[in-house]
């Protein structure tokens, strides 16, 4: 096992983990504010479709990235209005949003199925990209991978060391107390949900502009659901979200590695490894907590300022 092989494995792991990281960071902020949005899969698909169409029509990747983030945010507005303003059940609303996003992405992208674009090109950082083992993985990636690193660092700092992060956490833990202190709970939750939608849209944009630069129905392949499980695995902490994304990213390419080594295992069984890992991780986490949870105490609970 030479250095080049390890370089390639780490490079592929980081690329595969990037959409998971983007979605999971958005989920973390949304759930930290007390909102449970199960519509991530639908938002990723809509973001992927609109990002590809914008890039294909304009020939500009930047417009594609912006369109993907905006599309995810726009769909999240629908969820926020129904779940926060109308105070509908958040689980049912999120599931409906996934169904809606899946159908909408298939509809708007119908004329672009099978079309492809050049995709985002890697940007190598001089000197750093030559570091053994980690150089290619961390310093020879495309712009959206670097963006995911920046977003991780910013959100880690936000939730750990700023007053805004403390306010978001307080809204998710005890919205009544936060409201009594004068914080606009509903507005904060709206902003958190919209941010989560934008992150899901960015993840979709990465899938259709960089990871597989083309559009096909179901391109998300369950990544929105995996990201939801990833946040639980990470106990709603940004540093653990990053580690978990890399873990699931590695699980996603493990079947390719095993096939490369000539193991006679069904490719269909190997391809389900990421989802099997998701189930195992959730079971282990629940057993370790023995019925307890690190989730925000008001997660999924509607809040009305008039109460």
One digit per residue, the tens of pLDDT, for the chain of length 307 reads: 577 778 888 999 999 999 999 999 999 999 999 999 999 999 999 999 999 999 999 999 999 999 999 999 999 999 999 999 999 999 999 999 999 999 999 999 999 998 889 989 999 999 898 888 889 999 999 999 999 999 999 999 999 999 999 999 999 999 999 999 999 999 999 999 999 999 999 999 999 999 999 999 999 988 999 999 889 888 899 999 999 899 888 888 877 777 666 666 776 776 777 777 777 777 776 666 554 567 899 999 988 876 5
Q: What contacts 141, CB < 8 A, 6 or more positions away?
A: 11, 14, 15, 122, 123
Kindly list the distances between the CA atom of residue 46 and the CA atoms of 137, 264, 274, 279, in Å, as whole numbers in the listed order. Answer: 28, 37, 23, 26
Reading the block at residue 285, the tokens are 């986490």
The C-alpha atoms of residue 274 and residue 276 are separated, in whole angstroms, by 5
Long-range contacts of 276-284 (CB under 8 A, 24+ apart): 277/247, 277/248, 277/251, 278/225, 278/226, 278/229, 278/230, 278/248, 281/229, 281/233, 281/244, 282/229, 282/232, 282/233
The C-alpha atoms of residue 82 and residue 115 are separated, in whole angstroms, by 35
């Amino acid at each position: 096992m030479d250095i080049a092989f390890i370089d390639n494995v780490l490079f592929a792991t980081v690329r595969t983990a990037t959409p998971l990281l983007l979605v999971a960071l958005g989920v973390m902020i949304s759930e930290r504010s007390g909102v449970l949005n199960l519509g991530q899969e639908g938002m990723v698909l809509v973001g992927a479709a609109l990002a590809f169409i914008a890039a294909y029509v304009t020939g500009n990747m930047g417009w594609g990235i912006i369109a993907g983030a905006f599309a995810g945010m726009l769909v999240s507005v629908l969820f926020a209005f129904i779940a926060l303003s109308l105070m509908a059940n958040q689980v049912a609303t999120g599931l409906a949003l996934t169904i809606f996003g899946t159908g909408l992405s298939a509809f708007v992208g119908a004329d672009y199925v099978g079309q492809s674009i050049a995709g985002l090109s890697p940007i190598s950082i001089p000197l750093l990209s030559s570091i053994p083992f980690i150089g290619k993985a961390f310093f020879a990636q495309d712009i959206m991978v670097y963006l995911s690193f920046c977003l991780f660092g910013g959100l880690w700092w936000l939730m750990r060391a700023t007053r805004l992060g403390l306010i978001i956490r307080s809204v998710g833990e005890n919205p009544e107390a936060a409201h009594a202190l004068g914080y606009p709970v509903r507005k904060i939750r709206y902003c958190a949900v919209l941010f989560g939608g934008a992150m899901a849209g960015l993840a979709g944009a990465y899938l259709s502009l960089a990871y597989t630069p083309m559009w096909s129905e179901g391109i998300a392949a369950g990544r929105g659901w995996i990201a939801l499980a990833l946040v639980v695995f990470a106990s709603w902490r940004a540093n653990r979200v990053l580690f978990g994304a890399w873990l699931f990213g590695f699980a996603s390419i493990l079947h390719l590695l095993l096939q490369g080594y000539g193991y006679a295992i069904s490719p269909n069984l190997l391809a389900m490894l990421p989802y099997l890992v998701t189930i195992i991780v959730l079971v282990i986490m629940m057993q370790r907590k023995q019925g307890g949870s690190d989730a925000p105490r008001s997660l999924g609970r509607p809040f009305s300022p008039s109460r």
